[in-house]
Amino acid sequence: MINGIGEFNGYGTRLTSDGMMFTFSTEGRLPCAIMLYNKFDFKLLDEIVIEDEYRIGNVYSVVISGYDWKNICYRYKSGENTYMDPYAEVVVGRDKWGDASRYERDCMIYGGFNLEDYKWQNNLPHIEPDELIIYKIHMRGFTMNHGLKPSLKGNYKGVMELAPGIKDMGFTAIEFQPIYDFEELMYDMVPKSTGGRTIEYDIEPLDKLNYWGYDHGCYMAPKASYFGGAQGVTNCKKMIDALHGLGMEVIMEISFSPKCNDDYIITCLWHWVKNYHVDGFHLLGVLIPIKEISKHPGFAHTKIFYDNISDDILLEEKGAKHLFVYNNSFQNVTRQIQNHMQGSMTQLVNYLRRQNSNYGFVNYIANTNGFTLWDSVSYGEKHNEPNGEMNRDGDNVNFSFNNGIEGPTKNKQVLQTRLQQVRNGLCTTFLSQAIPLLRGGDEILNTQEGNNNPYCQDNSIGWVQYAANSNAKAQMVEFVSNLIRFREEHTIICQENPVKMADYKHIGMPDLSYHGYEPWLMFIGEEQKAIGILYVGEYANEHENVYIAYNFHYDEVQLALPKVSRTKEWKLIMNTADEKTLDFVEKDIENQQSVSIPGNSVSIYTAKNIIIKNK
């Protein structure tokens, strides 16, 4: 029964001492009602008509009592139509992933009630941008083929089981593809003839699933099938709390549809920050109110990632750095020069050092909107036929190269070249100044069989394929860990402020400089595909200098080693073409004036003070 007027202070439902408060809006002045259903069989229990006395403008707020809310779900009714509450914090009716029996009730979903009070155990990590290293996953795909027991597959429990391993590799944040509730069943709405003025539709199921979840969603609710249905709110918070306990931040990827207005988007983000302690958002959509979000005081310490932030917004940024440009530009520039597709060394070195004091960037060599890293060196063309769209979907411009054979091969020389190219791509990413991101599974050479858009592949194509273990995969995991550790130990590489390329500390060398066949390059020619980059550690209060040599010519080249000090000596740390150096253990080199860099490879050198032993 109705127990009084509500407070009109926020949409959705909230349990009060007087009952459950419902606040919602309608269009026009059609009669409206709250429809209450049995949560287990979805039978209608009550239709509560809401009169105009509970209305201000087009907003209703009412308190209802006398029901056992843990067994109830609801929808709103306007005129003759019922609809889902876009502010529902719990979704009922979609608890089981890919449940085809839902077609029998037209895929109907209902709002549920958040009746639990979670007690947080850990504080937010508050990781600084220069320490942020992101690992991106799809919750279901990451856990389905990992050798986990069935109860841990496709849900948050599997992530909690595997998260310590991600942390051990050195990652400090996990970005999740959509974990808010979305419709995975795909279908067409087919109009049927009724003879009347209104058009009715039948649902015609499609033979595939919306596996990724990039569609209009229930943005305020955790995905019920990922987080355990009725306990979804608590379990989602439990997972985020556990990741914070490991010292890792949580970044949610949210794809807002054009149906979402600015106020709704901001309310949704604030909901996840306030109630779920989410640390950041990767926002997708063409109508994101990025300026309003950037200036919202509640998001001053929330990391916001977006593909296209205009200069006027970026240049106005002050305070803690929290805006980050996140797009394919670094990936494309790197692949072009690495795969000999008219790439520019000038562009590459600019992207390797791109940084700003007030805002930042994300760098990656592969992401979910294209090939995996392994596929980018194994396929020259996309192979999306399994998606059922005649290979028309997915990006046609990938700057990928198959290195001689399209797809799988047992040719040892081709495989060796591909592994070397993967290591090259990882080096450019983790040795760049901005925030590095790795697509989950790239460290174990995951393949999608050439599919660069597996949005509907809820199978081995879309899942991370951990089952077929090999020495190559284990070595690549170790290589990623070594790269991250090297980055952490040499912070001169990843300074939070832009390099000045000047000797502003008066130590005889600039903070960053370029070197070719001769040291101290003043100009990088378009023909140049090899370069050495010197990072002077003193500018980050470190004792070691770092020299990274990139050679994207086919053949070996000689690069000058700059003399940095009478008391320092260069050591080889790693070369991507030499498996004996992949342990990142320093090795002596005789020639301290120049080094030979094999074709299509990256080398790392460090210079530190020579230890003179007393006789």
Please spell the DSSP secondary structure of 215-261, one letter per residue. SSEEEEEE-HHHHTGGGHHHHHHHHHHHHHHTT-EEEEEEE--TT--
| pLDDT exceeds cutoff 90 at 365 | yes
Residue with tokens 């990451």: 142
Tokens of 400: 């990928």
Question: Looking at residue 526, what is its pLDDT?
Answer: 86
Domain 498-609 has CATH 2.60.40.1180: yes
Label residue 203 by pLDDT band (50, 70, 90).
Answer: confident
Q: Please, what is the average pLDDT of the chain? A: 95
Cα-to-chain-centroid distance, residue 313: 22
Half-sphere exposure of 240 (CA within 13 A, CB side): 28
Q: What's 2-112's CATH class?
A: mainly beta
- Selected residue with higher pLDDT from 608 and 560: 560
Taking the C-alpha atoms of residue 54 and residue 119, their distance in angstroms, rounded to an integer, is 34
**Using an 8 Å Cβ cutoff, are 549 and 597 in contact?**
yes
Label residue 28 by pLDDT band (50, 70, 90).
Answer: confident
- Selected residue with higher pLDDT from 255 and 468: 255
What sections of 512-566 are H helices per DSSP? none
Label residue 560 by pLDDT band (50, 70, 90).
Answer: very high
- Mean pLDDT value across residues 378-393: 97
| pLDDT exceeds cutoff 90 at 223 | yes
| pLDDT exceeds cutoff 50 at 586 | yes
Taking the C-alpha atoms of residue 372 and residue 188, their distance in angstroms, rounded to an integer, is 30
Q: What's 132-180+231-492's CATH class?
A: alpha beta
**Using an 8 Å Cβ cutoff, are 218 and 182 in contact?**
yes
Q: Is the dihedral of CA 255, 312, 395, 177 positive or negative?
A: negative
| pLDDT exceeds cutoff 80 at 9 | yes
Question: Looking at residue 384, what is its pLDDT?
Answer: 98
Label residue 274 by pLDDT band (50, 70, 90).
Answer: very high
| pLDDT exceeds cutoff 50 at 596 | yes
Residue with tokens 């209802």: 64
Taking the C-alpha atoms of residue 269 and residue 219, their distance in angstroms, rounded to an integer, is 9
Question: Looking at residue 142, what is its pLDDT?
Answer: 97
Q: What percent of the chain has pLDDT over 70?
A: 98
Q: Determine the straight-line distance between the first and last CA of the chain, rounded to whole angstroms.
A: 94
Question: Looking at residue 73, what is its pLDDT?
Answer: 98
Fill in the amino acid letter for 462.
G
Kindly report, as residue ranges, where domains of CATH 3.20.20.80 are found in the chain. 132-180+231-492
pLDDT tens for residues 133-157? 999 999 999 999 988 999 999 999 9
pLDDT tens for residues 87-127? 999 999 999 999 999 999 999 999 999 998 999 999 999 99
Label residue 192 by pLDDT band (50, 70, 90).
Answer: confident
Question: Looking at residue 196, what is its pLDDT?
Answer: 58
Cα dist. 282→119, 263, 450 in Å? 27, 18, 26
Kindly report, as residue ranges, where domains of CATH 2.60.40.1180 are found in the chain. 498-609
Calculate the CA dihedral of residues 372, 377, 379, 385 and round it to 10 degrees.
0
Question: Looking at residue 615, what is its pLDDT?
Answer: 44
Question: Looking at residue 506, what is its pLDDT?
Answer: 95
Q: Which helix (H) or strand (E) holds 472?
A: helix 471-489
Residue with tokens 């229930």: 218
| pLDDT exceeds cutoff 60 at 614 | no
**Using an 8 Å Cβ cutoff, are 163 and 173 in contact?**
no
**Using an 8 Å Cβ cutoff, are 448 and 460 in contact?**
no
CB atoms within 10 A of CB 507: 13
- Mean pLDDT value across residues 557-580: 95
Taking the C-alpha atoms of residue 371 and residue 390, their distance in angstroms, rounded to an integer, is 18
The counts of H helices and E strands in the chain are 12, 31
Tokens of 304: 């916001």
Fill in the amino acid letter for 186.
M
